Structure formats: C-alpha cells, structure tokens
Chains A and B, each alone.
Chain A
Amino acid sequence: MLELKNIYKTFNAGTVNEKRVLKGLSLSLADGDFATIVGSNGAGKSTMFNAVTGVFYVDSGEIILDGEDITFKKEYFRSKEIGHLFQDPMLGTAPHMTIEENMALAYLRASKGRHGYFSRVSKKDKAMFKEHLRMLDMGLEDRMKQPAGLLSGGQRQALTLIMATMVTPKLLLLDEHTAALDPATAEKVLGLTKNIVAERKITCLMVTHNMHQALTLGNRTLMMDAGNIVFDVSGEERSRLSVEDLLNKFKDNAGKNLDNDRILLSD
C-alpha cells in the first residue's frame, strides 16, 4: 500500500543549522498493515509522516501510495487518500464550525468523485454522521449544532478520528494522537482507533512513546533512529518480544540506548 524508497531529507542545507533528518529511509507497508513506530528523540518519525503527507518535498527517493507515485504531488492532493492525526487535538477540527459542519466538510471533500464544489450534505448524510458519533459514546450525537471549539481535547481528537476515517482512507497516520489526552480519554480514543482500523482494514502507521502499545497494537513494530528504521519486527517473533527485548534490540541495532525522554516502559 505504501512504499518509501531511499528517502533523503535535509533541512537548512548548506547552513550551520543543517540537519540531515532522513537518511536513505525505506519502508514497505502491505495492504492492511498496522505498524507502530517507536524511536529516540529526533529520529525522524514526524518528518517521515510529513514527507508522506507532502508538507515538504523530499530531496531524493520515491513515495508510492497504492501503486501511484506521489513524490511530487501537492499536499492537498495527497490528503484526499491519507488521514493524518496530530498530537495536538486542536489541529484536526475547525473550532468555529459546528460538529455537523466539520463532519460535512470531511465527508464531502474525501468522497470527491461523487461530490462537486456545490454539493451539500443530505438529511441521510446527517443521520449517518450521527450514527458515527454514537459509536464514540461521548454524547456528541446530541451536540451536532455546537461549535467544535466547545469540545474537550479528547472529544475533539475522537471527532478528528471519525472525520479522518468516515470515508475510508488508503493510509492513516497517527502521530502520538493520544499523548496529549488524559489517561482515561486516551484509552478510549485508542480503543476506538483499534476498532476502526481493524473493522475497515485501514493501512495504518502510528507513532507512540508507549513501549507496551508499540508491541501490542497492530501487527508490526518499527524502531527508528537517526533518520532510519533500525528494527522491524512482525508476526510470531513480535508476539514473543517483551518490552525489555525491544529495548535490547534497539541497543543492538542502533548502537546506543533508546533516549526518548517521554518513553513509557509499562502500560
């Protein structure tokens, strides 16, 4: 589904602040893969996501999504097929638009083939939005006419998740999307993520700093360091790994200890 071939990206090239963030990164995700990513500070996790979504163009290498070369496609073109959730829950919804309008926007833009510029959502669509919100079990289905800005961070993140997956994307990128939420809400949003991704078989990449999650969620674990993937495990080998094993693997492959100042070793 997603193929990264030998990606290089350097920021501020030729200045004293030159930073080589991605150094020959390659990754191949099969259809329906759900991979978690852990890595040290500045390993290039978010940069990799931004390269895929097109926040910037990569210096060299190829990005292929579902057989289509999107290396030089514009950001707004790629995001039709890619859902992206950030750590900051405020980034995913428009605060002064109502919940319903936010969902209408997400729905109409994602299903572009069927909806022209002047299309509106029907009563049936609105009922469908309500159905989706009911899944959250947060009472949002009764607050459709309220601005999204009135929701709590957790509610906004849950809404963003619904919006990103309402029309099934080819790829879902989750950049520590539960890290800024309180533990109970984080648990809920994570459970929801698990269900939606499994139910629709969405190909998904998720950055986390929780080592336990990294091993238990999805079917594959990637460890990143210094702009590259240093450890990639899936299947039976993964199911036998403990958090300690994972840390040792990192040390063996990266030649140093995992130095992420927010890492959580237990759940």
Chain B
Amino acid sequence: MSQIFTVSILQSALELGFIYSLVVLALFISFKILNIADLSTDGCFTLGCAVAASVTISGHPVLALFAAMGAGVLSGFITAFLQTRLGVESILAGIIVNTGLYTVNIAAMGFSANLNLFQCDSIFTMARDFIGESSLVTGGWYKLLLLIVLILVAAVLVTLFLGTRLGLSIRATGDNAAMVKASSINPKFTITVGLCISGSLTALSGGILAQYQKSCDINLGTGMVTIALASLIIGETLIGTGPVAKRVAGVIFGSCLYRFIVAVAIRLNVPAECLKLVSALIVAVAIAFPYIKENARFTKRKYTEMARRKKGGAA
C-alpha cells in the first residue's frame, strides 16, 4: 500500500487538481450559481488549450493565457447569445457551440489534430528560470507553487466579484427568477456576463494545461464536463455549502481530491482506456452519495423505532 501514496503522486495530483479546478470554478458559476447546464465546457476547454498552444509556439507564453481567456469569453458569449437573444434552449445552446468549436479548435491548431510545445518557453519554464538554482527547482515543486499562486488569485478574484453588485445580481438570477424580474436586473445581461466569465476560466484552465503537459490534442476536452461536475459535487459533499469563499474552497478541494482518486486508480493498474469509465463511476457515486446517506439514515431510524415500538407494545 505504501507505494500507492508516494509524494510524487500527491504532487502531480495536486498540480492537475489545481489546473482543472479552474474548469470546476467555471462550472460552479454556470451550473450552481446561474443554474444553467452549460455543455460547451468540453469544446471551450480544448479551445483554450489550442489557442494557448498556438500562441505559445509563436513565443508568447503569458500572452497565450490571456488569448485563451479571450477565446473563452467569446465562446461563452456565443452560448449566452444563443439562449438569451435567439431563444435556443440552454442545454442545446451549449451542445451547438460545443459541436461548432471542434472545427474552430482544429483551425486554431493550424488544421492539425495535435501540437507539441516541447521546445517552447512556458509560464513554467519562466518560473523555473526566475527562481533559479534552488531545491524548489530540483524537486519540481516550482510548478505546484506557480499553480497555487495562479489559482489562489483566480479564486480570490471570483469570490470578490460575487460580492459586487454585478456578482450579486448574477447569483440572484440563478436563485430566484421572479425576484430578478421585479428588481431591475436584466437576466439576459447577467447570464451573458456569467457565461463569459465561466468560459474564460474554462479556457484558461485548458491554456495552462497545454503549457503544463507541453502538448495539445483535439480530443483533450472530451468528458471534461463530467469530470468537472464530479469534482464540484465531491467538493460540495465534503465541504458543504455556505459563504461563497467556503464554496470556492470546496471547488478547489474537490478538484484536487478527484485527481488524487484518479492517480490512485492509475497506480492500481487500471488500464488507461478504462479511465473514462472510472471517471463516470466516480461521478455517479459522488452525486448519489448524499442521497444514499440520507436514505440509509432514515432506514436505520425506521427499523430502530419500529423495533422499539414492538417491544413497547408487548409491555
């Protein structure tokens, strides 16, 4: 067993967990806060990855991440435009954008199905050079350090934003549609802003991943929405709901824990082609868990009470 939990596994699980936590944060905004099932996540993630990869190759690693975010905003805007201005059902709007993005993504990669960035500068090589000779670099911990800083900044910004007038309006939009209509909030606008932010976070996550794994593949985003949803629900189940800051912390925690579970699964020699099935199982279990727990508690109460009454009735 001791081999399963090595430090390097924990390290890479945390790295991936932090990178993907941005997608989870995006889903937290669209799925939990706006109450919209935005299924464009898969395509949007790949979009960020593709755009960032192309710009990185041309030698601008930092600009690459901003370009990815910009592309994500655009993708979110189109999804929002379809549902708020053109009357397309929200789930359908996401699926349409997702489908269309496949072509866009291929185009963004110069019409090839994958790119590699092995020779390129990235934010990670920049961080390594910046830190210089130290144990942080030899142990490879600088990557994790950089990611923690990036994700903390993003998480704090999102948390602060959700307390502003616009942020509160976005939250109310998903919480009480009737109230929003009667309180001078234009739901079309708040949904658009929310989905743009969500898109930018998803794409940023894809962009960072491209530089992290030094490659980009057209199928990278497949199943991303399921994975992010799993992380979201794991976080919510274990950390619980409450103030926004706590929920955002739950999002990051859930993402890291999910990556850790997957790392353990790989370590237990689960074949790579079975990983999607493992993911699906984790999602199903994570979603069903609170329900099963509640049911089990009730069943237990029922039987103990009934047993007690039978005894009492005999007396």
Q: Which residues of A contact B (CB under 8 A)?
A: 53, 55, 74-80, 84, 86, 90-98, 101, 104-106, 108-110, 112, 115-120, 145
Which of chain A's residues have a CB closer than 8 A to the CB of B163?
101, 104, 120
Answer whether residue B186 sits at the interface, using C-beta atoms and an 8 A cutoff.
yes
Chain B window 150-180, contacts with chain A (Cβ cutoff 8 Å), 1 for yes, 0 for no: 0000000000110111101101100110110
What's the count of A-B pairs with C-beta under 8 Å?
A: 80
Answer whether residue B119 sits at the interface, using C-beta atoms and an 8 A cutoff.
no
From B166, B172, B181, A118 is in contact (CB under 8 Å) with B166
Give the complex CA separation of A75 and B172 in angstroms: 16
Contact yes or no, B176 A91, CB < 8 A: yes
Answer whether residue B315 sits at the interface, using C-beta atoms and an 8 A cutoff.
no
Instruction: Quote the shortest CB–CB distance from A175 to chain B (angstroms).
Output: 11
Which of chain A's residues have a CB closer than 8 A to the CB of B171?
94, 96-97, 101
From A76, A101, A116, B185 is in contact (CB under 8 Å) with A76
Answer whether residue B243 sits at the interface, using C-beta atoms and an 8 A cutoff.
yes
Contact yes or no, A94 B176, CB < 8 A: yes
Give the complex CA separation of A101 and B172 in angstroms: 10
Contact yes or no, A92 B182, CB < 8 A: yes
User: DSSP majority for the B interface?
Assistant: helix
Number of interface residues of B (CB under 8 A): 23
Chain B window 44-61, contacts with chain A (Cβ cutoff 8 Å), 1 for yes, 0 for no: 000000000000000000
User: DSSP majority for the A interface?
Assistant: loop
Instruction: Quote the shortest CB–CB distance from A240 to chain B (angstroms).
Output: 37
Contact yes or no, A97 B186, CB < 8 A: no
Give the complex CA separation of A91 and B175 in angstroms: 10
Contact yes or no, A93 B176, CB < 8 A: yes
From B164, B166, B179, A93 is in contact (CB under 8 Å) with B179
Contact yes or no, A79 B183, CB < 8 A: yes
Instruction: Quote the shortest CB–CB distance from A19 to chain B (angstroms).
Output: 22
Give the complex CA separation of A117 and B163 in angstroms: 11
Answer whether residue B184 sits at the interface, using C-beta atoms and an 8 A cutoff.
yes
Report, nearest first, the 4 A-B pairs whose CB atoms are least far apart: A108-B165, A94-B175, A117-B166, A79-B184
Given contacts A94-B171, A101-B171, contact A106 B164 (CB under 8 A): no
